[in-house]
């Protein structure tokens, strides 16, 4: 009996000590999607599990899913004001109040998977500058970045490999900057939160939609469309954020639990991205959805029709705050190095 008792005592000694000032805290988390959603619901549930484990239940998180508290367009203001403690939403929703974030939605700037992966990685210069801008201008702290592939077009009866086919089409776009891209290339954008796409299609208010590939299954777009065109013009990135006043009110042990949990879950979800894309492709094939890639000439046409959007952004941001210039310089370096590597010319640039 002495040996098991000794082992138990040693195990208890190895458990992390609680912060003397730590008290039990209950936080509320907003989720626009069902908790059963494997991408968004699954990652937030894992975060809750890890935070509660790391804090030994000193912190508990209550998740309100299906937009019970706030819709996608309301999330940023809700976390900023403290109406909810934790939430996640797409990067484009932060660009209204922190324009620097809009660099991620510029067409054909971060359209390589490896480049976006590098930009989103912890320690990235661009990530650091964007996180700092969000904290300073909105008052929320970014806990993780979750890249989700690139934007694509959903349509019925035809693809949009040729941007001329977008002309005058009513295209659902999940935000201001995606809508600008549609408008620059001749479409009529309808700015809607993704969860409203289904009803808009059902009501006959849309011809097409632009969003991530996973929406085909998650939001039932396969019921209204039969073609996906992989323009891959801009990445989709979701941020998990916490209200900064809530963060600062936590004792060091609680903040450490948050940071450790976020780091662990971010690593998990990024390692599963390839599997998620494979599942989405398999689902599309099961529904006989046509998957259309672009030729190099068609990519050039899409670049041409959207070039004004990027030019306007560059001109406006270069003359703004110093951080805008620094992030643009970092983006220039990242893009040049990635493209040089892609063309096997990196030795000439370094």
Q: Where are the domains of the chain?
A: 24-349
Domain 24-349: which CATH number of 3.40.190.170, 3.90.1150.10, 3.20.20.140, 3.40.120.10:
3.40.190.170
On the question of pLDDT at 4 being above 60, the answer is: no
Segment 279-338, tens digit of pLDDT: 899 999 999 999 999 999 999 999 999 999 988 988 877 666 555 556 656 665 555 444
Residue 48, exposed/middle/buried by CB under 10 A (0-12, 13-18, 19+)? buried
| pLDDT at residue 349, as a whole number | 30
Q: Which of 202, 211, 199, 204 is nearest to 172 (CA)?
A: 211
Residue 229 β-bridge partners: 153, 292
Cα separation, 91 vs 206, whole angstroms: 24
Three-state secondary structure call for residue 292: strand
Query: So what's the pLDDT on residue 113?
Result: 85
pLDDT in tens, 111-156: 888 889 999 999 999 999 999 999 999 999 999 999 999 999 999 9
Percentage of the chain with pLDDT > 90? Answer: 71
Greater confidence (184 vs 323) lies with 184
Side-chain-side CA neighbours of 253 within 13 Å: the count stands at 18
pTM above 0.75, yes or no: yes
């Amino acid at each position: 009996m002495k040996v098991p008792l000794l082992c138990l005592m040693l195990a208890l000694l190895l458990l992390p000590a609680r912060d003397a000032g730590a008290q039990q805290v209950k936080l509320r988390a907003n989720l626009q999607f069902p908790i059963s959603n494997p991408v968004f619901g699954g990652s937030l549930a894992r975060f809750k599990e890890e935070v509660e484990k790391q804090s030994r239940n000193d912190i508990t998180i209550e998740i309100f899913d299906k937009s019970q508290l706030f819709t996608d367009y309301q999330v940023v203001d809700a976390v900023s004001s403290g109406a909810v403690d934790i939430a996640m939403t797409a990067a484009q929703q932060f660009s209204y109040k922190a324009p620097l974030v809009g660099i991620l939605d510029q067409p054909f700037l971060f359209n390589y998977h490896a480049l976006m992966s590098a930009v989103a990685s912890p320690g990235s210069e661009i990530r650091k500058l964007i996180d700092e801008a969000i904290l300073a201008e909105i008052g929320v702290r970014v806990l993780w970045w979750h890249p989700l592939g690139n934007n694509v077009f959903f349509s019925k009866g035809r693809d949009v490999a040729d941007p001329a086919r977008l002309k005058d089409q009513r295209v659902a776009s999940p935000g201001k900057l995606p809508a600008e891209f549609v408008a620059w290339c001749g479409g009529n954008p309808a700015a809607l939160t993704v969860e409203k796409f289904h009803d808009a299609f059902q009501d006959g208010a849309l011809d097409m939609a632009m969003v991530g590939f996973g929406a085909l299954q998650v939001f039932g777009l396969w019921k209204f469309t039969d073609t996906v065109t992989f323009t891959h013009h801009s990445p989709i990135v979701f941020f998990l954020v916490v209200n900064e006043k809530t963060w600062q009110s936590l004792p060091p042990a609680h903040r450490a639990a948050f940071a450790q949990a976020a780091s662990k879950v971010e690593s998990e979800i990024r390692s599963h991205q390839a599997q998620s894309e494979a599942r989405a492709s398999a689902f599309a094939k099961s529904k006989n959805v046509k998957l259309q890639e672009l030729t190099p000439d068609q990519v050039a046409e899409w670049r041409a029709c959207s070039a004004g959007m990027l030019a306007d952004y560059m001109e406006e941001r270069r003359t703004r705050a110093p951080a805008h210039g620094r992030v643009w310089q970092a983006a220039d370096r990242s893009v040049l190095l990635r493209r040089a590597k892609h063309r096997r010319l990196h030795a000439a640039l370094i």
